[in-house]
Structure 1
């Protein structure tokens, strides 16, 4: 059995070809797609966070709204860029959203990737300490966030408070029990996957990673997952970790599918540079008739290693079409692969 959810980047564009032409469209359709996905039996609704872009940005109002409109589906991010985050304020927002959702939040966080502007986190008021990088700053923010989610008191109470305090040092409220174990790290390298394992975070591995061996993407990603699990075991954590991978997968079952994705232009891994000196490998997309798709996906080593699969969806094609994409995978592909 494998958990299957969707991952939306929440793009919008004023183009006449887009079904998502405003921020309002992107947010409200994200809620509608999560509701539809839950009805079809999907396990997760996940959203990517980008700043200074016509995409989803501040995640917690959206996560809370989805939580209020659904009852079963997991609700998460993949990922929040921690270079931009105040970890204490984030802990309050996350606690509130998780309580509204009844403990269904699955928050993916990471050091982030190149954004729309140069050093965008500086506009948010964050600057790395001397001798540290922006990636170091992101990991520090993540560690503070994780410590805060433990729910332990750390702040000295006012001796003359406006309202009565409980005894001892005060923690941030609202505190959502169990959320600390539902934090995921989006790792682009083997080393950061090991670091995430030591800190007790679940692992999110996306459709790209740093090219560390020259092997096919899915092979490198599977190796990363095995390294992560070994590090988790060595750290002595009591619970079993979770691991997700993201893929663009389209079952060609009608004329719309063939028109949109039937050309097979991205059926191979791609190599690129996400930073000036950082060679990255980007995983292929899958688009084929269901019987062919089943055979191709059975060869993907990383999907086999993961317990959760996130389907990246073309959100600008609208709620109805994306619900169709998700349902086709759930009903015509997943059962034959033993995922359902």
Structure 2
């Protein structure tokens, strides 16, 4: 069995060809798609976070709204760029959203990716400490966030407070028990996957990673996952970790599918995510269901993961994206033993 969810980047565009023409459209349609996905039997609704772009940005209002409209589906991010975040305020937001959702939140974090503006985190009031990089700063913010989620008191109470305090040092409220174990780290390299394991976070691995060996994408990603699991074992954590991978997968079951995705990219590609980092981008899958079953069965990283996130073309509208999800659940997943 494998958990199957969707991952939306939440794009919008005023173009007449787009079914998502405003920020309001993107947010409201994201909620509607999560509701539809839950009704179809999907396991997760995840959202990408990008600043300074016509995409979903501040995630917690959306996650709370999805939590209020659904009852079973996991609700998460992939990923929140921690270079931009106040980890204490974020812990409050995450605790509130998780309580609204009844303990279904699955926040995915990361040090971030190249953004729309130069050093965008500076506009949010953050800068790395002397001798550190922006990536170091993102990981430090994540460490503080994880500490806050433990629910331990750390702040000295006012001796004359407005409201009575419980005894001892105070923690952030609202606190949601169990949320700390449902935090994920989006890793682009083997080294950061190992770090995530040591920190006790679940692993998210997307459709790109650092090209570290020159092997096919799914082989490198599978190696990353195995390195993560070994580091988790060596760290001695007392629970089993979770691992997700993202894929663009489209089952061609009607004329719309063939028109949109009939010429899918069937090879990995190489590019650079910054001046110094050579990256490998995983192929997309688009074929009739029987062929998809054969091709996906050869994907080593999907086999290693317990969770698969389907990237969806949200600008094609809620109904079509629900169709994309349903086609995988109904026509592909059973043939692979996922359902």
TM-score by length of 2: 1.00
Unaligned runs of 5+ in 1: none
Counterpart of 2:268 in structure 1 is 269
| Number of matched pairs | 339
Q: How is 1:98-113 mapped onto 2 (pairs within 5 angstroms)? A: 98-113=98-113
Counterpart of 2:282 in structure 1 is 283
Runs (4+) of structure 1 moved beyond 6 Å?
none
Distance 2:235 2:129 in 1: 28
Distance 2:238 2:196 in 1: 15
Counterpart of 1:81 in structure 2 is 81
Distance 2:189 2:135 in 1: 13
Distance 2:133 2:294 in 1: 43
Counterpart of 1:94 in structure 2 is 94
Distance 2:137 2:336 in 1: 41
Cα deviation, 1:181-206, whole Å, max 9, x if unaligned, reads: 00000000000000000010000000
Q: How is 1:117-266 mapped onto 2 (pairs within 5 angstroms)? A: 117-264=117-264, 266=265
Counterpart of 2:52 in structure 1 is 52
Distance 1:29 1:190 in 2: 35
1:66 CA drift (Å):
0.1
SS of residue paired to 1:334: helix
1:207 CA drift (Å):
0.2
Distance 1:219 1:118 in 2: 33
Counterpart of 2:323 in structure 1 is 324
Distance 2:152 2:195 in 1: 23
SS of residue paired to 1:7: strand
Distance 1:219 1:31 in 2: 34
Distance 2:293 2:18 in 1: 30
Distance 1:111 1:134 in 2: 8
Distance 1:29 1:317 in 2: 11
Distance 1:101 1:327 in 2: 24
Unaligned runs of 5+ in 2: none
Cα deviation, 1:50-75, whole Å, max 9, x if unaligned, reads: 00000000000000000000000000
The root-mean-square deviation of aligned C-alpha atoms, in Å, is 0.3
1:270 CA drift (Å):
0.6
SS of residue paired to 1:287: strand
1:32 CA drift (Å):
0.1
Does residue 299 (structure 1) correspond to residue 290 (structure 2)? The answer is no
Distance 2:293 2:117 in 1: 40
Distance 1:150 1:100 in 2: 19
Does residue 14 (structure 1) correspond to residue 9 (structure 2)? The answer is no
1:277 CA drift (Å):
1.0
TM-score by length of 1: 1.00
Distance 1:262 1:168 in 2: 63
1:256 CA drift (Å):
0.2
Distance 2:84 2:188 in 1: 18
1:82 CA drift (Å):
0.2
SS of residue paired to 2:226: helix
